[in-house]
Amino acid sequence: MQSTRSIRLAAPVAVLALGLGACSQDPSSPSTDGQTIADFVASASIESTQGELQTHAIPRPMRGGPTLEVDSHPTIVNGGTATLHLSAATPFQTVYVAGSAPASQLFIPVTGFYEVALAAPTSSADLLITFPQVLPVSEFELYVAAADGNGNVGSMATNGFEALTVGSGDVQVTVAWDTDADVDLHVVDPIGYEIYWADRTSPSGGQLDLDSNAGCFTDGVRNENITWGVGAAPQGTYTVRVDYWSNCSFSETKYTVLINNGGDISIHHGTFTGSGDAGGFGSGVLIDSFTRTAGPMPTPLRAAQDRRVGPTTK
Ligand SMILES: [Ca+2]
């Protein structure tokens, strides 16, 4: 069984040119070279509420603010997503996302933060982070804090992330999930070629370059990625599916798919239950189809030999 819901993001907000304030810099101090939170986080949202990028100093924690518990998986990919489950003993209404990056063996806060202002107080929420296709470093930290309805800000929770560098380009499709189950990403490209774990490279140039938890061999990655490089993604229709190969003894697995079609980003959420289907070619639930009008014309498959059929077991 599975269920899905989807959100199409508005056109990406132009990244503000942020400079570190001259007054804050000592030339001898470690520096993050003017990096801002937007270099690490492309968007922060809770359900349909998009976080706004702020450039002023982040509000200071104060006594009585809600203390967040944050549950997240530390491994992410450039161009992908992370879901941070937030909970607190007392309700919160505003969530702040700041960050720090390594500089001279220290983690130095970067400029700016995202502010997600919810319409009503809640005691738990899933904070969705999307990451830029290019990240400046592979290790960084995100700080998450929350304020109650009166503006009382609680302490910040620190979450370390390690980015695996994957391919990105005009078309990038990622899936991230929240257990050590074996989830598989499948994309059928405009020439009808299905890219998945047993057949990772299409003649069109598309490639599965990150595979995770194959056959329940737990690797801690929990992300898969299929992409075409810049200028390579052919025109035509792409179909995205996600397969629950095995639950690997987990009762439920939630997943998030990000589809980036030339900067047009859509996000799709779903939940798998059951045992999984050990699926191969043609398997999986439909996530979305999208059409690309830019790029090279697709070269049709010539004959059956172009269609390699991979193994059916992992
Ligand atoms: Ca997999």
Instruction: Kindly tell me if the per-residue pLDDT of 19 is higher than 50.
Output: no
The rounded Å distance from CA 170 to ligand 1 centre is 23
pLDDT above 70 coverage of the chain, percent: 85
pLDDT tier for residue 54 given thresholds of 50, 70 and 90: very high
Size of the chain, expressed as the number of residues it contains = 314
pTM score: 0.89
156/154 Cα distance (integer angstroms)? 7
Q: What is the Å distance from ligand 1's center to 84 Cα?
A: 21
CA distance 251 to 179: 9
Spatial CA neighbour of 98 closest among 115, 81, 82, 118: 115
Q: What is the mean pLDDT of residues 272-288?
A: 97
Provide the 3-class DSSP secondary structure of residue 144.
strand
Which residues have a beta carbon within 5 Å of ligand 1, which is an ion?
182, 184, 212
Domain boundaries, the chain: 15-164, 171-306
CA distance 214 to 186: 14
Name residue 311's amino acid: P
Interatomic CA distance for residues 176 and 169, integer angstroms: 18
How many Å lie between the centroid of ligand 1 and the Cα of residue 310?
15
64 CB burial (10 A radius; 0-12, 13-18, 19+) = exposed
Ligand 1 mean position to 179 CA, how many Å? 12
Q: What is the pLDDT of residues 88-144, one digit of tens each?
A: 999 999 999 999 988 766 778 889 999 999 999 999 999 999 999 999 999 999 999
Distance (angstroms) between ligand 1 centre and the Cα of 265 equals: 23
Residue 13 token pair: 């907000």
Each residue's pLDDT tens digit, 225-236: 999 999 999 999
CA 184 to ligand 1 centroid distance, Å: 4
Please give the radius of gyration of the chain, using alpha carbons only, rounded to the nearest integer: 21
What mean pLDDT is reported for the chain?
Answer: 89
- Whole-number Å distance, alpha carbon 245 to ligand 1 midpoint, is 7
- Ligand 1 mean position to 183 CA, how many Å? 4
Q: How far is the CA of 147 from the centre of ligand 1 (A)?
A: 38
- Superfamily, domain 15-164: Macroglobulin (MG2) domain (2.60.40.1930)
Q: How remote is the CA of residue 217 from the centroid of ligand 1, in Å?
A: 9
- Ligand 1 centre distance from Cα of residue 182 (Å): 5
Instruction: Tell me, yes or no, if the two domains 15-164 and 171-306 fold the same way.
Output: no
Question: CA angle, 166 as apex, 163 and 171 as ends, to 5°?
Answer: 125
Task: Compute, in angstroms, the gap from residue 25 CA to the centroid of ligand 1.
Answer: 46
The partner residues of 254 in beta bridges, in order of sequence, read 271
Give the whole-angstrom CA distance, residue 149 versus residue 66. Answer: 10
Tell me the fold of 171-306.
Lipoxygenase-1 (2.60.60)
Query: How far does the centroid of ligand 1 lie from the alpha carbon of residue 211, in Å?
Result: 5
pLDDT band at 32 (very low <50, low <70, confident <90, very high): low
> What's the 78 CA to ligand 1 centre distance in angstroms?
18
Ligand 1 center to 99 CA (angstroms): 30
Three-class SS state of 38: helix
CA of 244 to the centre of ligand 1 (A): 8
Q: Distance (Å, rounded) from C-alpha 197 to C-alpha 177?
A: 17
pLDDT at 129: 98
Q: Identify the residue with better confidence: 243 or 16.
A: 243
**224 alpha carbon – ligand 1 mean position (Å):** 7
CB distance 273 to 1 below 8 Å? yes
Report angle CA 20, 23, 25 to the nearest 5 degrees. Answer: 60
- Using CA atoms, how far residue 219 sits from 182, 211, 222, in Å, is 10, 10, 8
